[in-house]
Amino acid sequence: MIRGFSRKIGFAALSILLLLGSVMSFPVSTVHAAVDGDFQYEDNGDGTAIITDYTGDIGLSVVIPDLVGSGLTVVEIGVDAFKNNQLTSLTIPNNVTTIGQGAFLDNKLTSLTLPDNLMTIGRDAFKNNQLTSLTIPNSVTSFGIGAFQGNELTSLTLLDGLATIGVDAFRDNQLASLTIPDSVTTIGQGAFQANQLTNLTLPSNLTTIGVDAFRDNQLASLMIPDSVTTIGLGAFLDNKLTSLTLPDNLMTIGREAFKNNQLTSLTIPNSVTSFGIGAFQGNELTSLILLDGLATIGVDAFRDNQLASLTIPNSVTTIEEGAFLNNKLTSLTLPDNLMTIGRDAFKNNQLTMLTIPNSVTTIEEGAFQYNKLTNLTLLDGLATIGVDAFKNNQLTTLTIPNSVTTISGSAFINNPSLTDVLVLSNTVDFESNNIFGGSSTNLTLYGNDSSTSQTFATVNNHRFQKITAELADLELNIPGLTFDPEERTFNLTTNANAVIVTPTPVVPFSEVQVNHALVPYGSGSPSIDLAEGIVTITLDVEAPDNSTEQYTVEFNVDHTSPSIDLTASPTTPTNGNVTVTVGTDGTGSAIDSVKWATGSQVAGFFATGGQVLTGGSFAATVNGTYTVYARDEVGNESVETITISNIDRNVPTIDLTANPTSSTNGNVTVTVDANANSGISVLKWIAGNEGTAFFATGGEGIVDNEFIVTSNGTYTAYARDSVGNEAVETITISNIDRNVPTIDLTANPTSSTNGNVTVTVDVYAASEISALKWAAGNEGTAFFATGGEAIVGNEFTVTTNGTYTVYARDNAGNEAVETITISNIVRSSPTPPTSPGPDDEEDSPEDSDPHTIISTGPGVIIIEVAPRDIKELPKDNGGNKKVVNLPDDVWDEIPKLLDDDRPVIRVVIDDHLPDVELHLPGKRLAELWDINPNVEFDMQLNGSSFQLKVNVLDLEQLATRLGIAVDELNVIIKISALTGETKEDFILAADEQGMTLLSQVIEFQLFVSGGDEWVEITDFGGTYMTKSIVLDEQFANRNYMAVLYDPDGRTFTYVPAVMARRSNGQQDSVIQMPHNSIYAIVETDRIEFADMQGHWAEPEVEHLGSKRIVRGITINDYAPNRNITRAEFTSLLVRALGIKTDRTGAGDVFKDVAITSWYSTEVEAAFRAGLVSGISLTHFAPEAQITREQIALMLMNAQALVNDESNSIEQLPNSLTSFTDASEVSAWARDAMSDAVASKLIQGMSTDRLAPAASATRAQAAVMLHRLMVMIEFLD
């Protein structure tokens, strides 16, 4: 450093002054380094100081002071001052203007703020640190070599003011994006080498891009500003450029500047006159535009690209070695001023045609070897053809111009099809005997007598032909002409429309003209039209020795095609063959061939097809088009078609329709629809199954196209058309039913009762019952035409003794009645009060209304709520609500009927109201819970139901929460059928997701109230509650799905549900869910995956897919054979069980389940439900492939969760003993695997192999899940 050097000078001067001082006694001052804390510094003598060394602890965060010593301002950090101290953080005071060489070299700085007044940054100042981001202040105009090399920069901000970016300044960092300010004019060597740049903006005033400046980056696109004139060696080597715009003022492109990129197209501006070796080597160029101005194309300039077509501008005079080596050129235009083509310049391309301009004097070694040249034109001016110049091509002929003086060794070796070489020079120097090695064994050299070419041919055993050969050896190719070169005039009869004449003289370099137009050797003349009549063609031939000859060919042209007449017999309808007679006329030329074929054919077909006509006719056996072909002796052809349509061998068609087709007790009319091409002549019918022969004499005629049958059985209809074709058709009648229904009536009870009597009705009929009624008294069938009450559920209830009549009518109209007498109803009159009291009142009119009835059924207590117990009360928010409070006498009766075999209390409310609340007093619930802890209330409203397991409610805790006693508690079950805007929003959201509503939209709610407080209970702690929604029978075969609806998010979630048929023809969708919400039944599209067609798991996968439980990897593909991960299977299980998930994960369950992962909420929900555990206390391994034994444990956990029991199946035998690898089941999974196998949820991979640790595919996982859902009745 200059400052350091001046200090040494100062000490030398001081020593001299001291010596002088000993003699002269001059006073002097002493200069030395001072210390301030951890910093050594030097006084600059002007109130400023330089920090020269750091003596503090390594590995710290360092704050460099603003002032040192006696108030000296720190303005400079000296050479190596903080080098290799492992500093992690640094604060530099704002007065520092200079940072010396290596000042902070080899530390561990991760962040750095440079002072605003900094001007100079020395060489290696911050090299080998760990900086990730940096801003260079605008006070800095340049910095030394490697100033920030070897950091970890991903962000760099350069401000206006910087002029030059030094050598290796930011080399070996991790920059991906960079904008260089417009003040920069020069980017030094290696400045940004070995970064990760994908985005680069260069400054508008930049003139020079240094050597390797951006080498080893990942740039894909680049625009270089117009100010740039020089791009250095390797400046953009080894990037990924696919797009490049070069500036119009660019003059120099350095060696390998853009080598090893991925450019596909490029335009070189006309300011560039040359570029360095390999400048664009190793790209993927398919398009290259070179503009006028370029003089030289350098060595390897465009080597190893994919150019297929190229035009080189006329300004180019030199193409150097390997310039276009290893491309795919099929088309090449060389410039008119080109002089030299360098070694291997166009080697390894695919050129087939080439013209070397007359400006070229030298073609160097291998210039065009390994192409596919078949046509090569060398013009006068060429002097030297180098070694291997045209080696390994496909030349057939070659002309060596008179200007060539030297042909070097192997110049045309390995052109195996080369047969003719014309050498116009008599003195050409053949430098090797192997010039034409590997050519055809029939190679002929053509030249003058006593020329060097004759000598070369003789020495190398090639044939030699003087170019003054006789014209009598001419060969002439004209179709149909036998040519004799001794003759001069020829006659030919032809029907051709045109002719091409191909002359081939023995000396291939003779000149031939056809009708005075030059025809190149081996080529044909332009097409010559041949009009009807006489056409003459002349051929003029001139040999290389200028001798000439003329030939004349006269054509007699006949274009008239033969005529063909066709006649068919017979022409009336027939079920036999038709004979076609053929007449032909050559109209000038004799007929040479006549053929026929079925179908409409063109003349070309008969070149190999068709049948030769014999006897002047042929037989047509079927209807259709037939073609006849004729050709005359000169080749004129014609075809003629005839259509045969009168052959009718089609039997009549008979359609039989019975009316009616439903059950009837009358006759059935059979309508006969018979059709035939030739018209129906006979139509008959007969009972039984008969063939056509029967109707020759048997059968009854059909009148008006119908007949009537009076009994069930098979009947045959017969038809014959006008040409004799016959057909029969049968119909079976089985719907005539004249048997009346039978009715069995059973009363219950039959012993004395003070209640009602239920009469059960069993009806049997051959046809389905269409009407079932009852009436009091003894009535006949006529009464029930307008009278009687419909019987619902195959029973009716009678309240008084007497005779009752049941009526049945089937679909055929048959009727029956049956009576039953009831006499066991005994109701005693109540005992009147002994004397009237003050509170006695008249019975209110309400007392005559029906009362709420309590009865029992199998496993259930049934309470049918009377309208009198449904009260209309005001809502808190306005409007009214319907509330059911069971009467006290009903509550008093329930404990008498409740037992272990009858734990369910069903409250039936047939009110047809939008919503109803059922109020259950806490005191009553507590009493019932004491009797049977498993007591359940099943509230049914208009078919929809909600089943409450009382034991999920902690009544004591709920009362405490509300600040009341249990006796003051009220549990409210509310079922609401949504209407109005809420329902419309549901329908709209469902439609947007491809769903159709099939049922009511029901909201199930549970409240607990007391005093003035209430709470809603939406979740039952994992206990599944049964709910049901009624579904009309017409929707039974739809692809239905039960869904939970979230109105806030307008989303739908699959809900486990199965269908149960009701007695009235409707169906219930029975839903199992551990929480309340809004539910409905919707129809969805059936899911079919293209890659599941024919797959063994297709039914299960597509069933689960149609329920939206499993999803494909795309709309059409499921990927059944792909292994499934732990996260994927957990998500499947959560969806299948309808477990509620939070909208976002908490992120507090497993360390490897990130809150942002798609599966976080499902994994957390499954963990809290007890379905899954981690591979450790802190890790879940979500992306690991799940094993079969892990699936077994999850399935049995799910079964236990749903059934509220331990995850083992009671009394199942050890089902693993039949598997040879049973010992491989992990101890923690043994019970679950045994139960899963016994339950047939999991099967062996083979008869004796379980493979517990094997991964499961998506198909296997879906099938196992499907089995579980069917087993636990979550899926039909």
DSSP collapsed to 3 states, 557-602: ECCCCCEEEEEEECCCCECCCEEEEEEEECCCCCEEEEEEEECCCC
> Is it the case that residue 9 has pLDDT exceeding 60?
no
Among 118-132, 160-174, 540-554, the least confident range: 540-554
Query: Under a CB-based contact definition with an 8 Å cutoff, are residues 89 and 67 in contact?
Result: no
> Is it the case that residue 97 has pLDDT exceeding 90?
yes
pLDDT tier for residue 286 given thresholds of 50, 70 and 90: very high
Longest dimension (CA), the chain: 168
Q: What pLDDT score was predicted for residue 507?
A: 55
The CATH-assigned architecture of domain 653-733 is: Sandwich (2.60)
Closest residue by Cα to residue 1165 from 1189, 1183, 1140, 1195: 1140
pLDDT tier for residue 1073 given thresholds of 50, 70 and 90: low
Among 171-180, 196-205, 1190-1199, the least confident range: 1190-1199
> Is it the case that residue 847 has pLDDT exceeding 70?
no
> Is it the case that residue 1264 has pLDDT exceeding 70?
yes
Name, of 377-391, 587-601, 735-749, 833-847, the range with top average pLDDT.
Answer: 377-391
Which has more pLDDT, 400 or 506? 400
Instruction: Give the tens place of pLDDT for each residue, 422-458.
Output: 998 899 999 998 999 888 778 999 888 889 999 999 9
> Is it the case that residue 1229 has pLDDT exceeding 50?
yes
Among 102-111, 882-891, 1242-1251, the least confident range: 1242-1251
Q: What pLDDT score was predicted for residue 1066?
A: 55
**Mean pLDDT value of segment 370-395:** 95
Range(s) within the chain of domains with CATH label 2.60.40.10: 563-644, 653-733, 742-822
Which has more pLDDT, 2 or 295? 295
Q: Under CATH, which number does the domain 489-557 receive? A: 2.60.40
Among 20-24, 34-38, 168-172, 1221-1225, the least confident range: 20-24
- Return the SS3 of 10: helix
- Return the SS3 of 735: coil
pLDDT tier for residue 1241 given thresholds of 50, 70 and 90: confident
> Is it the case that residue 1221 has pLDDT exceeding 60?
yes
Burial class (CB in 10 A: 0-12, 13-18, 19+), 691: exposed
d(CA 1068, CA 1053) in angstroms, rounded, equals 19
Q: What pLDDT score was predicted for residue 218?
A: 96
> Is it the case that residue 612 has pLDDT exceeding 70?
yes
Which has more pLDDT, 1244 or 287? 287
In the block, tokens 């007949």 appear at 707
The CA distances from residue 970 to 375, 869, 889, 1003, in Å, are 105, 17, 18, 20
**Mean pLDDT value of segment 150-159:** 95
d(CA 1100, CA 1275) in angstroms, rounded, equals 11
> Is it the case that residue 145 has pLDDT exceeding 60?
yes
The CA distances from residue 725 to 644, 681, 702, 715, in Å, are 19, 10, 18, 21
H/E element, 63: strand 61-63
Cβ-based neighbour number of residue 1217 at 10 Å: 8
Superfamily per CATH, domain 563-644: Immunoglobulins (2.60.40.10)
**Mean pLDDT value of segment 607-619:** 92
Instruction: Give the tens place of pLDDT for each residue, 646-657.
Output: 888 888 999 999
Q: Which two tokens mark 1196?
A: 């049995």
d(CA 767, CA 756) in angstroms, rounded, equals 32
Instruction: Give the tens place of pLDDT for each residue, 944-959.
Output: 888 888 888 888 888 8
Among 238-252, 702-716, 981-995, the least confident range: 981-995
d(CA 193, CA 216) in angstroms, rounded, equals 6
Q: What pLDDT score was predicted for residue 471?
A: 46
Which has more pLDDT, 984 or 347? 347
Cβ-based neighbour number of residue 1227 at 10 Å: 6
Which has more pLDDT, 511 or 1122? 1122
Q: What pLDDT score was predicted for residue 983?
A: 83
- β-strands 757-764, 533-542 pairing: unpaired
Determine what percent of the chain is predicted with pLDDT higher than 70.
89
> Is it the case that residue 1000 has pLDDT exceeding 60?
yes
d(CA 93, CA 1231) in angstroms, rounded, equals 72
Which has more pLDDT, 574 or 1213? 574
- pTM higher than 0.85, yes or no? no
Which has more pLDDT, 477 or 299? 299
Q: What pLDDT score was predicted for residue 1034?
A: 61
**Mean pLDDT value of segment 1230-1238:** 88
d(CA 114, CA 347) in angstroms, rounded, equals 56
> Is it the case that residue 212 has pLDDT exceeding 60?
yes
Instruction: Give the tens place of pLDDT for each residue, 800-821.
Output: 888 999 999 988 889 998 999 8
Burial class (CB in 10 A: 0-12, 13-18, 19+), 287: middle
Burial class (CB in 10 A: 0-12, 13-18, 19+), 971: buried
Q: What is the DSSP secondary-structure string of 1061-1079?
A: E-TTS-EEEEEEESB--EE
Q: What pLDDT score was predicted for residue 735?
A: 87
- Return the SS3 of 938: strand
> Is it the case that residue 315 has pLDDT exceeding 90?
yes
Q: What pLDDT score was predicted for residue 528?
A: 86
Among 347-351, 390-394, 1079-1083, the least confident range: 1079-1083
Q: What pLDDT score was predicted for residue 1069?
A: 62
pLDDT tier for residue 357 given thresholds of 50, 70 and 90: very high
> Is it the case that residue 840 has pLDDT exceeding 60?
no
Q: What pLDDT score was predicted for residue 177?
A: 96
- Which residues, including other chains, have CB under 8 Å from residue 665's CB and lie 6 or more apart? 736, 737, 738, 812, 813, 814
Beta pairing partners, 941: 909, 944
pLDDT tier for residue 986 given thresholds of 50, 70 and 90: confident
d(CA 732, CA 715) in angstroms, rounded, equals 6
pLDDT tier for residue 203 given thresholds of 50, 70 and 90: very high
| Correct CATH for 742-822 of 3.40.50.300, 2.40.30.40, 1.10.287.470, 2.60.40.10 | 2.60.40.10
- Return the SS3 of 1102: helix
d(CA 169, CA 175) in angstroms, rounded, equals 13
For the chain, the average pLDDT equals 85
Q: What pLDDT score was predicted for residue 1178?
A: 86
Q: What pLDDT score was predicted for residue 1246?
A: 82
d(CA 108, CA 115) in angstroms, rounded, equals 19
**Mean pLDDT value of segment 861-881:** 81
Instruction: Give the tens place of pLDDT for each residue, 552-604.
Output: 888 778 788 899 999 999 988 888 899 999 999 877 678 889 999 999 999 89
Q: What pLDDT score was predicted for residue 839?
A: 40
Which has more pLDDT, 1192 or 1211? 1192
